[in-house]
Chain A
Amino acid sequence: MAILGALNPILTVGWDGGAAWRLQDYVKRGGYKALGRIFEERISPDQLIGEIKKSGLRGRGGAGFPTGLKWSFMPKDFKDGKYIVCNTDEGEPGTFKDRDILRGNPHAVIEGMVIAAYAVGAARGYNYIHGEIWDIYKRFEEALDEARAAGFVGKNILGSGFDFELFAHHGYGAYICGEESALLESIEGKKGQPRFKPPFPASVGLYGKPTTINNTETFAAVPFVLNMGAEAYLEAGKPNNAGTKLFSVSGHVNRPGNYEIPLGTPFPVLLEMAGGMRGGRKLKACIPGGSSAPVLPAEVIMACTMDYDAIGKAGSMLGSGAVIVMDETTCMVKALERLSYFYHEESCGQCTPCREGTGWLYAIVHRIEHGAGRPEDLDLLRGITANIMGRTVCALGDAASMPVQGFLKHFRDEFEYHIENGKCLVPPEVQRAGSTFFKATV
């Protein structure tokens, strides 16, 4: 999969279906210019952090936290080794943008990490890449070798006296390692179990040292923000929703793939870019920000613009920018059943409400889907989510609960129909047609 389309792109300009990823290609596109300018013009770390703050860049990993502000939390006077960590664990169902970023432009991530390291005074960094994309992990290591050989990474970078070592670390199949503190545990060679917070990684991070952790797309944006200037980046999106973002569009569309669009672009425009609804069928619902984000019915999402504020106001989250599109062939109970299974499978098990609660959520949605639902089940589901949320070490508990609440809020009648009739409102043959696995219905 490559980047399939873009509107006023910033990050993906000049990508060539992922083929032009090498250092020389990146330099031709203006790569490592931002880093060079920092040293030439002796831009101070404080100025840099100020520029990132001014740009309004927000974290692209899910929470949308302001990046400049996050960098400013790193203790300035700490001299005993700070870390920069990039989160390419990308396991949130529906999300596949970071893979394409590392495939098409690994050096943008490297340059972004080196700049971040200079801004917060870090001497070492790791990019945590999930284990399922082995070829991408290998490519990133190759890109790192190129960057080292060219003097962009390592000792005395570009003759500036600034040292920064950067390495790749691979995961091996655990969604929870996308949670930042679990990811740090994983780099330390342990089970990926999230830590209690506070303290936050900026005070106690990798090996107990102050650590800045950002998503792949966040780091990749940094050189572009500096090259075009904070104001231009801000203006590329809309207030409070600066810049462009990659959206991974999956599900019932004609051209599933990644699309770069300015934040604030209307959803129908994105849907059109993705080729519209598969087989011309009707849009039923959309999960706009990865599987943890509450689902929105067609009429609500069609009226949304794709940005943090609009999606938030509609009752969901922009999250990682994973847009899961579902047409009228979709059984909403079955869809939720699969998601609930996922969260139960991936719970790390250290908090009781999450470990037990996600199991109950799955068991109840499963029995509704399989014709054994009970009238009291919907209230029971609500009650369980209320008892999980806010009572766990990490946000996976909330991530498992929000889909349940979203599906029940907007598609309660389908769940009730299942419970009353022991079967789905959408006939099985209609459901089967949706996937086009046998191409019969395209």
Chain B
Amino acid sequence: MLTKESIQKIDREIAKYPAGRKQSAVMAALAIAQEELGWLPSEAIEFVANYLDMPPIAAYEVASFYNMYDLKPVGRHKLTVCTNLPCMLSGGVDAAEYLKKKLGIGFNETTPDGRFTLKEGECMGACGDAPVMLVSNRRMCGGMRPDEIDKLLEELE
């Protein structure tokens, strides 16, 4: 299901926890699977559960509890815009509106060409840099006013 490289990464995570506590690696393992596959189909969740000797339902519970796991396919780039109050005061909501108009989609939608998915986010602990957005869970971008948003969109193929 996953490449050897991903499995090695998961093994490194398992080694962080005491013997018999493999389940502790489930968050990292699901993140690794998602990074490889783009999202988390139920077979991937089941695979991770089996690999960590835990019931699939327990892994599914984790995957559905935490916001950054995608249980449905997303575009090549997932843009999560923080609109919480501190960001809102400095343009977080405006940035989201700007993106919606520019991409022609709403929150939780994907552009027809499969390039972008737009999500509304909660505080990412970066409020001083507002407007803030997270690109595909990994890259945090701050100071996202119209020019910077335009630049970012161009850069993301």
Q: For B98, what are the chain A residues with a Cβ–Cβ distance below 8 Å?
A: 437
Q: For A99, what are the chain B residues with a Cβ–Cβ distance below 8 Å?
A: 125-126
Q: Is A90 positioned at the interface, with any CB of B under 8 Å from its CB? A: yes
- With A172-B66, A437-B146 as known contacts, state yes or no: A250 contacts B128, CB within 8 Å: yes
CA A258 – CA B65 in complex, angstroms? 31
B90 touching A435 by the CB < 8 A rule? yes
Question: B62 to chain A: closest CB distance in Å?
Answer: 6
A170 touching B24 by the CB < 8 A rule? no
CA A186 – CA B131 in complex, angstroms? 29
Question: B132 to chain A: closest CB distance in Å?
Answer: 9
Q: Is B79 positioned at the interface, with any CB of A under 8 Å from its CB? A: no
CA A181 – CA B67 in complex, angstroms? 19
A91 touching B125 by the CB < 8 A rule? yes
Q: Which one, B1-9, B104-112, B134-142, is touching chain A?
A: B134-142
Q: For A113, what are the chain B residues with a Cβ–Cβ distance below 8 Å?
A: none
CA A262 – CA B69 in complex, angstroms? 40
The A98-143 residues at the B interface (CB cut-off 8 A) are 98-99, 124, 126, 130-135
Partner pick for A94 among B121, B127, B134, CB 8 A cutoff: B127
Q: For B86, what are the chain A residues with a Cβ–Cβ distance below 8 Å?
A: 93-94, 250-251, 291, 322, 324
B27 touching A248 by the CB < 8 A rule? no
Question: A364 to chain B: closest CB distance in Å?
Answer: 18
Q: Is A156 positioned at the interface, with any CB of B under 8 Å from its CB? A: no
Q: Is B122 positioned at the interface, with any CB of A under 8 Å from its CB? A: yes
Chain B 129-153: CB-based contact to A (< 8 A → 1; otherwise 0) = 1110010011110100110000000
Q: Is A249 positioned at the interface, with any CB of B under 8 Å from its CB? A: yes
B residues adjacent to A (C-beta < 8 A): 16-18, 21-28, 30-31, 52, 54, 58, 61-62, 65-69, 83-95, 98, 121-131, 134, 137-140, 142, 145-146
A250 touching B130 by the CB < 8 A rule? yes
B122 touching A175 by the CB < 8 A rule? yes
Q: For B126, what are the chain A residues with a Cβ–Cβ distance below 8 Å?
A: 1, 96, 99, 132-133
Nearest opposing residue in chain B for A438, CB measure: B146
CA A437 – CA B83 in complex, angstroms? 13
Question: B95 to chain A: closest CB distance in Å?
Answer: 6
B85 touching A339 by the CB < 8 A rule? yes
Q: Is A207 positioned at the interface, with any CB of B under 8 Å from its CB? A: yes
CA A256 – CA B127 in complex, angstroms? 8
Question: B47 to chain A: closest CB distance in Å?
Answer: 16
CA A252 – CA B90 in complex, angstroms? 7
Partner pick for B123 among A94, A169, A256, CB 8 A cutoff: A94
Q: Which one, A187-195, A220-228, A373-381, A418-426, is touching chain B?
A: A187-195
Question: Count of chain A residues with Cβ under 8 Å from any Cβ of B?
Answer: 63
What are 5 sample pairs from A and B whose C-beta atoms fall under 8 A apart?
A: A91-B123, A172-B31, A190-B62, A435-B93, A435-B94
Partner pick for B84 among A93, A169, A256, CB 8 A cutoff: A93
B125 touching A1 by the CB < 8 A rule? no
A190 touching B61 by the CB < 8 A rule? yes
Question: B112 to chain A: closest CB distance in Å?
Answer: 27
Question: B94 to chain A: closest CB distance in Å?
Answer: 4
- Most chain B beta-carbon neighbours within 10 Å: one of A99, A173, A187, A191: A173
Q: For A258, what are the chain B residues with a Cβ–Cβ distance below 8 Å?
A: 128
Q: For B22, what are the chain A residues with a Cβ–Cβ distance below 8 Å?
A: 189
The A309-350 residues at the B interface (CB cut-off 8 A) are 322, 324-326, 330, 335, 338-339, 342, 345-346
Partner pick for B27 among A96, A169, A252, A322, CB 8 A cutoff: A169
A189 touching B85 by the CB < 8 A rule? no
CA A438 – CA B145 in complex, angstroms? 7
Chain A 13-43: CB-based contact to B (< 8 A → 1; otherwise 0) = 0000000000000000000000000000000
Q: For B140, what are the chain A residues with a Cβ–Cβ distance below 8 Å?
A: 132-135
B24 touching A189 by the CB < 8 A rule? yes
Q: For A335, what are the chain B residues with a Cβ–Cβ distance below 8 Å?
A: 85, 88
Partner pick for A437 among B28, B91, B122, B128, CB 8 A cutoff: B91
* 9 extra interface residue pairs, beta carbon distance < 8 Å, beyond A93-B122, A169-B16, A291-B85: A98-B125, A131-B68, A132-B125, A167-B16, A189-B25, A190-B58, A256-B130, A324-B85, A437-B94
Partner pick for B122 among A134, A325, A345, CB 8 A cutoff: A345
Q: For A325, what are the chain B residues with a Cβ–Cβ distance below 8 Å?
A: 89
CA A175 – CA B68 in complex, angstroms? 12
Q: For A134, what are the chain B residues with a Cβ–Cβ distance below 8 Å?
A: 137-140
B24 touching A169 by the CB < 8 A rule? yes
A96 touching B137 by the CB < 8 A rule? no
Nearest opposing residue in chain B for A97, CB measure: B125
Partner pick for A188 among B24, B66, B134, B145, CB 8 A cutoff: B24
Q: Is A257 positioned at the interface, with any CB of B under 8 Å from its CB? A: yes
Q: For A56, what are the chain B residues with a Cβ–Cβ distance below 8 Å?
A: none
Question: B104 to chain A: closest CB distance in Å?
Answer: 19
Partner pick for A338 among B69, B83, B121, CB 8 A cutoff: B83
Question: B147 to chain A: closest CB distance in Å?
Answer: 9
Q: Is A160 positioned at the interface, with any CB of B under 8 Å from its CB? A: no
B88 touching A95 by the CB < 8 A rule? no
Q: Is A436 positioned at the interface, with any CB of B under 8 Å from its CB? A: yes
CA A257 – CA B128 in complex, angstroms? 5
Chain A 243-270: CB-based contact to B (< 8 A → 1; otherwise 0) = 0000011111000111000000000000
